[in-house]
Amino acid sequence: VSPVAQAAHQIALIIASFTFMVSMGLAQAGSIRVSNAFGRSAWDKIYAIGRSTLYISLFYGCICGIFFYAAKNYLPTLFNKNPEVITLASSLLIFAAIFQIPDAIQAISSGLLRGIKDVKIPTLYVFISYWVIGIPVSSYLAFKTNLGVKGIWLGLILGLSFSGIFLLRRFLKKTKL
Protein backbone atom coordinates (compact mmCIF):
# COMPACT_ATOMS: atom_id res chain seq x y z
CA VAL A 1 0.00 0.00 0.00
CA SER A 2 1.40 3.36 -1.02
CA PRO A 3 2.25 6.20 1.37
CA VAL A 4 -0.55 8.25 -0.22
CA ALA A 5 -3.08 5.48 0.51
CA GLN A 6 -1.79 5.12 4.06
CA ALA A 7 -2.05 8.86 4.69
CA ALA A 8 -5.54 9.07 3.18
CA HIS A 9 -6.68 6.04 5.19
CA GLN A 10 -5.33 7.54 8.40
CA ILE A 11 -7.08 10.87 7.76
CA ALA A 12 -10.45 9.22 7.09
CA LEU A 13 -10.04 6.92 10.09
CA ILE A 14 -9.17 9.80 12.44
CA ILE A 15 -12.24 11.74 11.32
CA ALA A 16 -14.51 8.70 11.67
CA SER A 17 -13.02 7.85 15.08
CA PHE A 18 -13.68 11.37 16.30
CA THR A 19 -17.41 11.11 15.62
CA PHE A 20 -17.53 7.54 16.95
CA MET A 21 -16.79 8.84 20.46
CA VAL A 22 -20.37 10.08 20.75
CA SER A 23 -21.70 6.63 19.84
CA MET A 24 -19.40 5.12 22.45
CA GLY A 25 -20.70 7.57 25.04
CA LEU A 26 -24.27 6.70 24.14
CA ALA A 27 -23.40 2.99 24.35
CA GLN A 28 -21.98 3.46 27.85
CA ALA A 29 -24.98 5.51 28.97
CA GLY A 30 -27.37 2.96 27.48
CA SER A 31 -25.47 0.14 29.15
CA ILE A 32 -25.73 1.80 32.56
CA ARG A 33 -29.42 2.64 32.18
CA VAL A 34 -30.23 -0.85 30.91
CA SER A 35 -28.21 -2.38 33.73
CA ASN A 36 -30.26 -0.47 36.31
CA ALA A 37 -33.50 -1.65 34.69
CA PHE A 38 -32.10 -5.19 34.46
CA GLY A 39 -31.47 -5.17 38.21
CA ARG A 40 -35.17 -4.43 38.69
CA SER A 41 -36.18 -7.02 36.03
CA ALA A 42 -37.98 -4.22 34.18
CA TRP A 43 -37.83 -5.70 30.67
CA ASP A 44 -40.27 -3.16 29.27
CA LYS A 45 -37.90 -0.39 30.44
CA ILE A 46 -34.89 -2.24 29.02
CA TYR A 47 -36.58 -2.40 25.62
CA ALA A 48 -37.64 1.27 25.76
CA ILE A 49 -34.16 2.42 26.82
CA GLY A 50 -32.57 0.33 24.10
CA ARG A 51 -34.90 1.62 21.45
CA SER A 52 -34.47 5.27 22.41
CA THR A 53 -30.69 4.94 22.62
CA LEU A 54 -30.60 3.28 19.21
CA TYR A 55 -32.79 6.00 17.68
CA ILE A 56 -30.61 8.77 19.08
CA SER A 57 -27.49 7.04 17.82
CA LEU A 58 -28.99 6.40 14.37
CA PHE A 59 -29.99 10.06 14.11
CA TYR A 60 -26.49 11.12 15.13
CA GLY A 61 -24.93 8.63 12.68
CA CYS A 62 -27.06 10.00 9.85
CA ILE A 63 -26.07 13.57 10.68
CA CYS A 64 -22.38 12.58 10.74
CA GLY A 65 -22.72 10.67 7.48
CA ILE A 66 -24.33 13.64 5.78
CA PHE A 67 -21.65 15.94 7.19
CA PHE A 68 -18.84 13.64 6.02
CA TYR A 69 -20.29 13.53 2.54
CA ALA A 70 -20.91 17.28 2.37
CA ALA A 71 -17.48 18.19 3.75
CA LYS A 72 -15.51 15.37 2.11
CA ASN A 73 -13.41 17.77 0.05
CA TYR A 74 -12.69 20.11 2.95
CA LEU A 75 -12.01 17.86 5.97
CA PRO A 76 -8.85 16.19 4.56
CA THR A 77 -7.27 19.63 4.02
CA LEU A 78 -7.19 20.05 7.80
CA PHE A 79 -4.66 17.21 7.96
CA ASN A 80 -2.64 17.33 4.75
CA LYS A 81 -1.88 19.58 1.78
CA ASN A 82 -0.86 16.89 -0.73
CA PRO A 83 -3.50 16.91 -3.53
CA GLU A 84 -3.26 13.14 -4.05
CA VAL A 85 -3.80 12.45 -0.36
CA ILE A 86 -6.69 14.91 -0.20
CA THR A 87 -8.39 13.38 -3.25
CA LEU A 88 -8.11 9.82 -1.93
CA ALA A 89 -9.08 10.81 1.61
CA SER A 90 -12.12 12.60 0.19
CA SER A 91 -13.24 9.40 -1.54
CA LEU A 92 -12.64 7.38 1.65
CA LEU A 93 -14.84 9.79 3.59
CA ILE A 94 -17.74 8.58 1.45
CA PHE A 95 -17.13 5.10 2.85
CA ALA A 96 -16.79 6.58 6.35
CA ALA A 97 -20.13 8.32 5.82
CA ILE A 98 -21.75 5.00 4.92
CA PHE A 99 -20.36 3.11 7.90
CA GLN A 100 -21.59 5.66 10.45
CA ILE A 101 -24.90 3.79 10.65
CA PRO A 102 -23.67 0.19 11.12
CA ASP A 103 -20.93 1.45 13.43
CA ALA A 104 -23.46 3.23 15.62
CA ILE A 105 -25.75 0.18 15.66
CA GLN A 106 -22.99 -2.23 16.65
CA ALA A 107 -21.63 0.07 19.36
CA ILE A 108 -25.03 0.73 20.93
CA SER A 109 -26.20 -2.88 20.65
CA SER A 110 -23.00 -4.12 22.25
CA GLY A 111 -23.41 -1.68 25.15
CA LEU A 112 -27.06 -2.61 25.64
CA LEU A 113 -26.19 -6.31 25.70
CA ARG A 114 -23.48 -5.67 28.29
CA GLY A 115 -26.14 -3.96 30.39
CA ILE A 116 -28.15 -7.19 30.52
CA LYS A 117 -25.01 -9.24 31.23
CA ASP A 118 -24.95 -10.83 27.80
CA VAL A 119 -21.35 -10.86 26.61
CA LYS A 120 -20.28 -14.35 25.52
CA ILE A 121 -22.42 -14.79 22.41
CA PRO A 122 -21.99 -11.12 21.38
CA THR A 123 -18.22 -11.60 21.57
CA LEU A 124 -18.53 -14.57 19.23
CA TYR A 125 -20.67 -12.49 16.86
CA VAL A 126 -18.09 -9.71 16.82
CA PHE A 127 -15.29 -12.23 16.20
CA ILE A 128 -17.19 -13.73 13.25
CA SER A 129 -18.10 -10.29 11.88
CA TYR A 130 -14.56 -8.95 11.89
CA TRP A 131 -12.18 -11.89 11.71
CA VAL A 132 -14.22 -14.30 9.57
CA ILE A 133 -16.03 -11.80 7.33
CA GLY A 134 -14.61 -8.26 7.48
CA ILE A 135 -10.86 -8.80 7.43
CA PRO A 136 -10.81 -11.57 4.78
CA VAL A 137 -13.13 -9.54 2.52
CA SER A 138 -11.00 -6.42 3.09
CA SER A 139 -7.85 -8.33 2.26
CA TYR A 140 -9.35 -9.90 -0.84
CA LEU A 141 -10.78 -6.64 -2.16
CA ALA A 142 -7.63 -4.65 -1.37
CA PHE A 143 -5.02 -7.06 -2.70
CA LYS A 144 -6.76 -9.37 -5.20
CA THR A 145 -8.78 -6.71 -7.01
CA ASN A 146 -7.86 -3.22 -8.11
CA LEU A 147 -9.73 -1.57 -5.24
CA GLY A 148 -6.72 -1.06 -2.96
CA VAL A 149 -7.50 0.96 0.16
CA LYS A 150 -11.13 1.33 -0.93
CA GLY A 151 -11.42 -2.46 -0.72
CA ILE A 152 -10.26 -2.30 2.89
CA TRP A 153 -13.02 0.18 3.63
CA LEU A 154 -15.64 -1.94 1.89
CA GLY A 155 -14.61 -4.91 4.03
CA LEU A 156 -14.76 -2.70 7.11
CA ILE A 157 -18.31 -1.65 6.22
CA LEU A 158 -19.27 -5.28 5.69
CA GLY A 159 -17.79 -6.38 9.03
CA LEU A 160 -19.46 -3.51 10.89
CA SER A 161 -22.76 -4.24 9.17
CA PHE A 162 -22.72 -7.91 10.14
CA SER A 163 -21.74 -7.01 13.69
CA GLY A 164 -24.53 -4.46 13.92
CA ILE A 165 -27.12 -6.86 12.53
CA PHE A 166 -26.04 -9.77 14.75
CA LEU A 167 -25.90 -7.67 17.92
CA LEU A 168 -29.13 -5.77 17.29
CA ARG A 169 -31.01 -9.00 16.54
CA ARG A 170 -29.64 -10.48 19.75
CA PHE A 171 -30.74 -7.49 21.82
CA LEU A 172 -34.21 -7.49 20.26
CA LYS A 173 -34.55 -11.26 20.81
CA LYS A 174 -33.45 -10.94 24.46
CA THR A 175 -35.86 -8.07 25.14
CA LYS A 176 -38.84 -9.40 23.21
CA LEU A 177 -41.82 -8.54 25.35
Count the Cβ atoms, other than its own, within 10 Å of residue 123. Answer: 12
Q: What is the pLDDT of residues 62-94, one digit of tens each?
A: 999 999 999 999 999 999 999 999 999 999 999
Looking at residue 1, its pLDDT comes to: 73
Instruction: Report the percent of the chain where pLDDT is more than 90.
Output: 98
Q: What is the pLDDT of residues 103-139, one digit of tens each?
A: 999 999 999 999 999 999 999 999 999 999 999 999 9
pLDDT at 177 over 70: no
Q: With beta carbons less than 8 A apart as the criterion, state whether 60 and 108 touch.
A: no
- Whose CA is closest to 15, among 59, 57, 78, 66? 78
Looking at residue 176, its pLDDT comes to: 86
Q: Helices marked H in 1-99 — which ranges? A: 3-39, 43-70, 83-98
* pTM score: 0.93
The phi-psi region of residue 118 (left if phi > 0; otherwise alpha if psi is between -120 and 50; otherwise beta) is beta
